[in-house]
Structures are given as C-alpha cells and as structure tokens.
C-alpha cells in the first residue's frame, strides 16, 4: 500500500502548523520548564533533552485529550515529572567510568538551577527529588504535587521528609570525553569552511539535531544547500534563520568555532561578530564512534542552555530565541 505524495505533504504541512501553534502557546513556560528539568537531571545537556522530550510527548498527549487544560504550567510539569521518573526506573546502559565532583550549593527559590541541580543528589529517589523540587523550588502545593505524581498528599509529605534529609550529601557525575584528534580535525575543517572534509569525519549514519527544530539523518542531508544545517551554519548569515529582534548589534557573516572544555567535555562554541565584539550564539556537542562523528547537536535555539554554559565559561553570548519561524 502506498501513500500519495501530495497527501503525505499535506499531512506534514498540517502537522508542522499545529506543532508551531503548540510551541507558541508553551513558549512562555520554556524557561521554567528548563529550570525544572535542569534541577532534575543536574546538567544542561540532559535538561534540554528532557525539555524536548516533554514538549514532544505533551504534543502527542494533547492530541488525544478531550478535556480543557486549565493550568498549562502544572500540566507541563506533570508530563516532565512522570517522564523523568519513568526514565529513572529503567536500567542504565553503558555507564561512563570517568567522573567529576559536583559542588553543593543551597537550594534556591530564586531559581539558580545549577545550585538546585547540584544539591538534589543522586541518593534521592526519583519521587523524592521531584517532590522536593516541585515544593521547595517551584512552590506547588502538596495537593498539586500529589495530583501530578498520581499519589496522595501524605505520600508527598513522606517523600519531602526523606528527601530534605539527604540534601547535604555529595555525589559524582559522569563526564564525556571525545578524542582530541577528532575535536581538532573537526574545528580545523569547520573554520576552513571545508564541508567535504567535515562530512568525511562523520559516519554515514551520523545525525544532526537542532534542539526542538529538526533532525537530519546522514551527512548528505547536512550539507544540502537548501536545508542542510551544516551548510547553513558555515555559509549563511544569521538573518536567514533568526528573527530581527535577536539581531541587534550583529555585523553579519558566519561563525568561527572554538573548542572549550565544559564540565569535562569538549564543546564547540560558535562566535559571531557584533558591534560590541564577538559573541557566542551556538554551543555544539558531538558524539563519536571510534574516530568518526556519530551525532552532532546544535543548541542554537536553546537560549537556556547557552545562558548556563556561557555563564560558567565566562564568555559573552546572544540569544537566537526558541524558534526559526516568524511570530
């Protein structure tokens, strides 16, 4: 059985329109959702992954709901809480042997996500950690938390009591290492604007992801001149994707890549020229399989991640917003 291309294109267009409308509604809640996910996962990268997962699952769940969502923030936090708890119940595959110390900082209602994330240590059970976050950081009531986690207020009280008693302990968190030779070769080819050399460093099955925007499968897709993420990163000015409100001071041109170590991992920072001097507008991670790149992850439209990473690295940055489509 085949599906006519015209029908498939129409379905795709309708789905994209609905996806954009959905993100429009929830965009004001993205900073709070990121803070919550950041405190749960305890690092910026996993937090952004969880945000994307929550938004996608929320979109699918919404399509099958018959009742009105009266409290969008609570509903989104419910999706995040249950998704994260579900992930914690699964066995961990391929744990990383290397690790680094995580600092302990006071829990803050003001939303210092790094402090909250570092404080909520791994010795807390998933329910304890979620309950402490929802109550002590995001000010939900016991009844609201119980409803989110499908339990009782008394069970939440017990989880809070246990969790608060464990917050002074330390933990160690895994770091990710990419071979220096791969990093150096990637940056050299990037700054030389050598697309063929860059794609030669990748597996044929490599993927490229722009958070919440798109995923490309295979280097051939990445270097396409019409939609390819790699091609447009190297050769297109910001104005092709970024709304005018976020281009203040931008002088035009394409980025220069620089490697920085962030929490034990090599991260590519993409610098663009501005009136005030160079500013970072993207943080790029990549994973390897042997000596080849297997996955590229752009955080171009992840201002919450950029803010945290650049703040810790003490480098200036600019936001591109959350989207690549007009209001």
pLDDT in tens, 35-68: 999 988 888 999 999 999 998 888 877 766 556 7
3-class SS letters over the chain? CCCCHHHHHHHHHHHHHHHHHHHHHHHHHHHHHHHHHHHHHCCHHHHHHHHHHHHHHHHHHHHCCCCCCCCHHHHHHHHHHHHHHHHHCCCCCCCCCCEEECCCCCCCCCCCHHHHHHHCCCCCCHHHHHHHHHHHHCCCCHHHHHHHCCCCHHHHHHHHHHHHCCCCCCCEEECCCCCHHHHHHHHHHHHCCCHHHHHHCEEEEEEEEECCCEEEECHHHHCCCCCCHHHHHHHCCHHHCCCHHHCCCECCCCCEEEEEEECCEEEEEEEECECCCCEEEEEEEEEEECCEEEEEEECCCCHHHHHHHHHHHCCCECCCCCCCCCC
Which residues pair with residue 285 across a beta bridge?
297
| For residues 201-206, average pLDDT | 93
What pLDDT does residue 126 have? Answer: 80
pLDDT in tens, 272-302: 999 999 999 999 998 898 889 999 999 999 9
Q: How far apart are CA 221 and CA 218, in angstroms?
A: 6
What pLDDT does residue 176 have? Answer: 58
Give the residue, 191 or 107, on which the prediction is more confident. 191
Predicted TM-score (pTM) of the model is 0.74
Rounded to a whole number of angstroms, the distance between the first and last alpha carbons of the chain is 39
Q: What is the CATH number of domain 180-313?
A: 3.10.450.50
pLDDT in tens, 66-118: 567 778 888 889 889 988 888 887 654 443 333 333 322 333 333 343 443 34
Q: Is the pLDDT of residue 169 over 60?
A: no
Q: How far apart are CA 40 and CA 83, in angstroms?
A: 11
77-86, 132-141, 196-205: range with lowest mean pLDDT: 132-141
Q: Is the pLDDT of residue 203 over 60?
A: yes
Q: Could you tell me the pLDDT band of residue 210, with boundaries at 50, 70 and 90? A: confident
pLDDT in tens, 227-241: 899 999 999 999 988
Two structure tokens written together for 132: 């402490």
| For residues 3-12, average pLDDT | 62
- Would 5-174 and 180-313 be classified into the same CATH topology? no
Whole-number percent of the chain with pLDDT over 70: 79
Contact 296, 209 (CB under 8 A): yes
What pLDDT does residue 119 have? Answer: 41
What pLDDT does residue 173 have? Answer: 47
What pLDDT does residue 116 have? Answer: 39
Q: Is the pLDDT of residue 249 over 80?
A: yes
Domain boundaries, the chain: 5-174, 180-313
Q: Is the pLDDT of residue 6 over 50?
A: yes
Q: Who's near 56: CB < 8 A, 6+ residues apart?
A: none
Give the residue, 62 or 33, on which the prediction is more confident. 33
What pLDDT does residue 123 have? Answer: 61
What kind of architecture, by CATH, is found in domain 5-174?
Up-down Bundle (1.20)
What pLDDT does residue 103 have? Answer: 29
What pLDDT does residue 152 have? Answer: 86
177-186, 254-263, 309-318: range with lowest mean pLDDT: 177-186
Mean pLDDT of the chain: 81
What pLDDT does residue 174 have? Answer: 47
């Amino acid at each position: 059985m085949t599906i006519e291309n015209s029908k498939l294109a129409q379905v795709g267009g309708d789905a994209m329109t609905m996806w954009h409308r959905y993100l429009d509604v929830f965009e004001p809640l993205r900073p709070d959702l990121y803070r919550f996910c950041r405190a749960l996962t305890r690092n910026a990268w996993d937090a952004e992954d969880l945000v994307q997962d929550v938004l996608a699952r929320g979109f699918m769940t919404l399509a099958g709901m018959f009742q009105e969502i009266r409290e969008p923030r609570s509903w989104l936090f419910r999706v995040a809480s249950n998704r994260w708890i579900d992930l914690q119940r699964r066995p961990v595959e391929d744990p990383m042997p290397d690790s680094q110390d995580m600092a302990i900082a006071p829990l803050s209602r003001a939303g210092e996500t790094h402090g909250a994330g570092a404080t909520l240590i791994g010795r807390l059970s998933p329910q304890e950690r979620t309950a402490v976050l929802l109550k002590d950081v995001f000010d939900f009531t016991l009844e609201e938390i119980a409803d989110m986690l499908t339990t009782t207020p008394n069970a939440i009280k017990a989880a809070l009591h246990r969790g608060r008693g464990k917050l002074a302990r330390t933990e160690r968190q895994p770091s990710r290492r990419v071979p220096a030779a791969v990093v150096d070769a990637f940056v050299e080819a990037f700054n030389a604007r050598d697309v063929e050399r860059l794609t030669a460093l990748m597996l044929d099955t490599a993927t490229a992801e722009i958070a919440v925007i798109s995923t490309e499968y295979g280097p051939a897709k990445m270097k396409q001149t019409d939609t390819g993420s790699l091609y447009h990163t190297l050769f297109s000015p910001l104005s092709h994707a970024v709304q005018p409100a976020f281009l203040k001071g931008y002088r035009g041109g394409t980025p220069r890549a620089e490697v920085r170590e962030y929490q034990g991992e090599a991260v590519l920072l993409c610098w663009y020229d501005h009136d005030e001097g160079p500013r970072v507008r993207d943080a790029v991670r990549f994973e390897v399989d042997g000596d080849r790149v297997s996955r590229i992850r752009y955080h171009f439209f992840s201002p919450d991640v950029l803010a945290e990473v650049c703040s810790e690295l003490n480098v200036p940055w600019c936001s591109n917003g959350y989207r690549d489509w007009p209001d």
